[in-house]
Amino acid sequence: MKGYTSSALLLGPVLLSQLALAQQAPSGVVQWNIQKRPVPNVAPNRLLRRAGSTYQEILQNEQARGGYFATCEMGTPGQKVTLQLDTGSSDVWVPDSTASVCSQGACDLGSFDPTTSKTYTVVGRGEFDISYVDGSSSKGDYFTDVFKIGGATVTNLTMGLGAKTDIAYGLVGVGYANNEAIVGNAQSLNAQYPNLPVTMVDDGLINTIAYSLWLNDLDSNEGHILFGGIDTKKYKGDLTRIKIYPSSNGYYFSFIVALTSLQAISPSGNDTLTSEEFPIPVVLDSGTTLSYLPQDLVEQVWQEVGADYSSRLQLALIPCSKKTSKGYLSFQFAGPDGPRINVRMDELVLDLTSGNPPKYTSGPNKGQDVCEFGIQNSTSAPYLLGDTFLRSAYVVYDLVNNEIALAETDFNSTQSNIVAFASMSAPIPSATQAPNQAAVTNRPAVTSPAFSASSGFSGNGGEDENASPGMPSAFGVAQMSVMGVSMVFAMIGSGIFALF
């Protein structure tokens, strides 16, 4: 995401899906299906981070690249490119086919050749400029052209063209227009332009600036984003609306909501985990692979589930056998009457490599396969709930009313009932507002949990595996081709977040 970037590098073969246009779904919704196929390796040295008037795009769960990708078309005639969906940024951009990273063969997800498009127009020469704190960047022109996604055609979308970039694939940013790269560079909200969700409304394709996200489970090949509507068959229980919080200057830049409770629950007991940071401002960001929470809270989570932090790899690691644990983490938002999302361990225990997993070489876990844990530590707000959380939630983003709606996802649902937003500024369909959100500012007492749930997270019938795993020098990066993760933050303009 632009502004808050989580990145991961994985060496080895990856899987990608090829999208095929399916028959048009009822009520004006167009759905694309996917077929899995192997693709070349990820380019090295790049730290990767995410009914009616309704449009749906099928998303590929690209585990190795660390995000969800959709195949789109841009230009006339159309050029297919596969772009990462990112709710944490706001620009659509694509690598220029002449960029050096593409000339080296790294742009296996596609690039754009403006010289072959009859409808390409430069509208901001040299004004597109995204820079990440990890040193990667993409720079070039803003241009307008035809853009097709999920069966919808936008005839004049403003996009960025990365002519000078070390990032080998583009993004579909669908966040607030306030968060566009040009706004940060110009230090002025007046610099913003109508981005993809806004332009879809302007073109009459959807009724309001809103969409819903269903990522499905970790092992699934696909999920979808539904522009302008929700699918009532993709979640369980009630859909509950909660507030999005603005930055300290009153403007909305990111999808920040209030995390007010976290529990560890297993067959051996329940624990309420505490933190000095509650209520915690968290960004719901599909462009971030992992989730990042305050240090004091994460240390309790790690102790509950049996994860340990490797200072050498700068990651929390966990035995892969924990995938089958019956324990889960329960996240609650917007106070005691707000929505609650339960996240199972099979969504939080992630493979470190694309090949044979490394093994612990000493300690109580000796001989077991090593995995990465999906919740890592961070030292400053706003914190991030990325794909390791979002897969377990059905999320509706309403950028007009500044609300998020949450419900527990219905994994692998094969049914569909799509309901469009009725009009601009209409409330989220089928959703009720969480009561007593004013109580969000109440700070719970900080206590040490009893860790009664800890033994229930064990993968071996309840024995404690919480001791240090032991990783001598033989447990090295060269041996593992390990996924390295870096977490970086940048502020846009004066959008510093001090919410509660």
pLDDT per position as a tens digit, 80-124: 999 888 898 999 999 999 999 999 999 999 999 999 999 999 999
Mean of the per-residue pLDDT values of the chain: 81
Pull the structure tokens for residue 169.
Answer: 């694939």
Q: Quote the CA–CA distance of 144 and 163 in Å, as a whole number.
A: 15
Q: What is the pLDDT of residue 61?
A: 58
The pLDDT > 70 percentage for the chain reads 78
Q: Phi/psi of residue 428, each to 5°?
A: -60, 125
Q: What is the pLDDT of residue 52?
A: 52
Q: Are 337 and 357 in contact (CB under 8 A)?
A: no
Stronger pLDDT, 20 or 120, i.e. the higher one: 120
Q: Quote the CA–CA distance of 205 and 149 in Å, as a whole number.
A: 12
Q: Are 167 and 101 in contact (CB under 8 A)?
A: yes
Q: Are 493 and 139 in contact (CB under 8 A)?
A: no
Closest to 66 in 3D by CA, of 321, 287, 355: 287
How large is the average pLDDT for residues 413-424?
91
Q: Quote the CA–CA distance of 345 and 8 in Å, as a whole number.
A: 20
Q: Phi/psi of residue 144, each to 5°?
A: -115, 145
Pull the structure tokens for residue 259.
Answer: 């995390």
Beta-strand runs (E) in 208-290: 210-214, 222-227, 229-231, 235-243, 256-266, 269-273, 280-284
- Inform me whether the pLDDT recorded for 152 exceeds 80: yes
Sign of CA dihedral 92, 419, 385, 480: negative
Per DSSP, the three-state class of 241 is strand
Q: What is the pLDDT of residue 482?
A: 31
Per DSSP, the three-state class of 116 is helix
For tokens 């709930």, what's the residue? Answer: 385
Closest to 485 in 3D by CA, of 289, 306, 252: 289
Closest to 157 in 3D by CA, of 86, 212, 78: 78
Range name among 8-12, 380-384, 430-434 with the lowest pLDDT average: 8-12
Bridge partners of 159, per DSSP, are: 143
How large is the average pLDDT for residues 48-61?
55
Q: Are 361 and 472 in contact (CB under 8 A)?
A: yes
What residues have CB less than 8 Å from 135, skipping those under 6 apart? none
Closest to 414 in 3D by CA, of 275, 287, 233: 233
- Inform me whether the pLDDT recorded for 457 exceeds 60: yes
Q: What is the pLDDT of residue 462?
A: 39
- Inform me whether the pLDDT recorded for 135 exceeds 90: no
Burial of 10 (0-12, 13-18, 19+ CB in 10 A): buried
Q: Quote the CA–CA distance of 20 and 147 in Å, as a whole number.
A: 17
Per DSSP, the three-state class of 19 is strand
Report residue 479's pLDDT band, with 50, 70 and 90 as the boundaries.
very low
Examine residue 382 and say whether the peptide bond preceding it is cis (omega within 30 degrees of 0): yes
3-state secondary structure 119-141: CCEEEEEEEEEEECCCCCEEEEE
86 is catalytic: yes
Stronger pLDDT, 499 or 278, i.e. the higher one: 278
Q: How many CA atoms lie within 13 A of 383 on its CB side?
A: 26
Report residue 162's pLDDT band, with 50, 70 and 90 as the boundaries.
very high
Q: What is the pLDDT of residue 15?
A: 22
What residues have CB less than 8 Å from 475, skipping those under 6 apart? 358, 360, 361, 370
Report residue 176's pLDDT band, with 50, 70 and 90 as the boundaries.
very high
Report residue 352's pLDDT band, with 50, 70 and 90 as the boundaries.
confident
Report residue 189's pLDDT band, with 50, 70 and 90 as the boundaries.
very high
Q: Are 288 and 384 in contact (CB under 8 A)?
A: yes
How large is the average pLDDT for residues 375-395?
92
User: How far is the CA of 54 from the CAs of 254, 345, 417, in angstroms?
Assistant: 23, 33, 12
Long-range CB contacts (within 8 A, 24+) of 309-314: 309/377, 310/471, 312/471, 313/477, 313/482, 313/484, 314/484, 314/485, 314/486
pTM assigned to the model: 0.84
Q: Quote the CA–CA distance of 283 and 384 in Å, as a whole number.
A: 5
Q: Are 392 and 341 in contact (CB under 8 A)?
A: yes
User: How far is the CA of 264 from the CAs of 126, 134, 410, in angstroms?
Assistant: 50, 33, 21
Find the catalytic residue in 91, 285, 351, 398.
285
**pLDDT tens-digit profile of 269-295?**
999 999 999 999 999 988 888 999 999
Pull the structure tokens for residue 30.
Answer: 């167009």
Range name among 147-161, 213-227, 263-277, 426-440 with the lowest pLDDT average: 213-227
Examine residue 435 and say whether the peptide bond preceding it is cis (omega within 30 degrees of 0): no
What residues have CB less than 8 Å from 489, skipping those under 6 apart? 3, 4, 5, 133, 380
Per DSSP, the three-state class of 114 is helix
How large is the average pLDDT for residues 351-379?
91
Report residue 62's pLDDT band, with 50, 70 and 90 as the boundaries.
low
Q: Are 381 and 500 in contact (CB under 8 A)?
A: no
Which one-letter DSSP state was computed for residue 112? B
141 is catalytic: no
What residues have CB less than 8 Å from 452, skipping those under 6 apart? 268, 269, 270, 271
Element at 183 (helix H, strand E): helix 181-186
Q: What is the pLDDT of residue 443?
A: 86
Find the catalytic residue in 86, 387, 398, 410.
86
